[in-house]
Amino acid sequence: MKISTKGRYGLEAIVDLAIHSSEGRVNLKSISERCGISEAYMLQIFLILRRAGIVESTRGTQGGYALSTEPSKITVGDVLTALEGPFAPVVCITEKAKHTCDRYKKCTARSFWERVMNTLSDVANSITIEDLVECYKSNIPLNTELDYYI
Amino acid sequence: MKFSTKGRYGLRAMIDLAVYSNEEQHVALGSIAQRQGISTNYLEHVFSELRKSGLVKSIKGAQGGYLLSESPSDIKVGRILRVLEGSLSVIDEDSDNTAGSESVIRNCIKTSVWDKMNARLNELVDSLTLEDLAYDYRERNGIDNTMYYI
């Protein structure tokens, strides 16, 4: 029951984007370098995030990516479900499977899995990208990135 | 983000065993297989692990089968899942070694997101016993719960 690298790297990249957005649009190359991830993989991730409406992009020399809204309005849940799909720990509780499993109503395990799913998505939906940016700001070494220090 | 078939089928099989066995009556794998729609071969594989972990006892022979080794109200669901799935974590702990793993962002995400999700997940699965799930199963399947209620 694991969140894939897509979800993990995507979340990291979004936080990185939020941190560096005060300079304007951020290009993929710089995000990839800071996160230590290949630009090609990052591109795949950002295509998904763009389709999901979490980031916007512009082309050209001053081009790059920006969050589509304030970091306080984007939750970890938004990012993870865009990249990973719903938090369903088993396929049978997703919308599709509802109509294909003949045990659906009588299944005890299903209601347990739903509780697992709700627990995880509640946590994810309660954390915003802004929260993670705040954590970053309070943890960076004192003599770096002074423009972020209030 | 999915639980493996071992975890899913193993949990359902344990619920079945809790409902259909008692101190005198052991249950044959074939009957669990039939009721739960799981292959007997696969169940053998799962049950050998459950037996090694001490969760079930086996009775050999033609009339053989399995018994729970403890009362279902003493078996936490978390324990069953950990036997079948390993540690319950939303991320693959080992694959956290990409370049730049000293990153502040990564650490923030770890403490604010993954650790929090894991803590809530473990809290949930340890707050439920096999008897809780067996009770729910009996309710949904019209099996008398009063005999088992202490």
**Where residue B150 falls among pLDDT bands split at 50, 70, 90?**
very low
Nearest CA among A83, A79, A60, A59 for reference residue A69: A79
Closest A-chain CA to B122: A116
Cβ contact, residue pair A90, B90, below 8 Å = no
Cβ contact, residue pair B111, A103, below 8 Å = no
Q: What is the phi/psi pair of residue A95, to 5°?
A: -55, -40
Cα–chain-centroid distance for residue A61?
26
Q: What is the phi/psi pair of residue A106, to 5°?
A: -90, 5
Please identify, in words, the CATH class of the domain defined by A5-85+127-148: mainly alpha
Q: What percentage of chain B exceeds 90 in pLDDT? A: 68
pLDDT tens digits, B50-69: 999 999 999 988 888 999 99
pLDDT tens digits, B91-141: 887 665 554 456 899 999 999 999 999 999 999 999 999 999 999 999 988
ipTM confidence score: 0.87
Written as six digits, the tokens of A40 are: 């090609």
- To the nearest whole angstrom, how far is the Cα of B57 from the nearest Cα of chain A? 23
Asked if the C-beta of B61 comes within 8 angstroms of chain A's C-beta atoms, the answer is no
SS3 content of chain B, % helix, strand, coil (to 5): 60, 5, 35
Nearest CA among B7, B8, B15, B56 for reference residue B32: B15
- What's the CA gap between B51 and B19, in Å, rounded? 18
Nearest CA among A52, A19, A24 for reference residue B109: A19
* pLDDT lower than 50: segments of chain A: none
The contacts of residue A23 (CB under 8 Å, 6+ apart) are none
What domains can be seen in chain B, in order of their start residue? 5-88+129-148 (1.10.10.10)
What count of other Cβ atoms lies within 10 Å of the Cβ of residue B62? Answer: 5
Of B109, B117, B133, the CB nearest to A120: B117
Tally A–B CB contacts below 8 A: 118
Rg (Cα) of chain B, in Å, rounded? 18
pLDDT tens digits, A10-49: 999 999 999 999 878 999 999 999 999 999 999 999 999 9
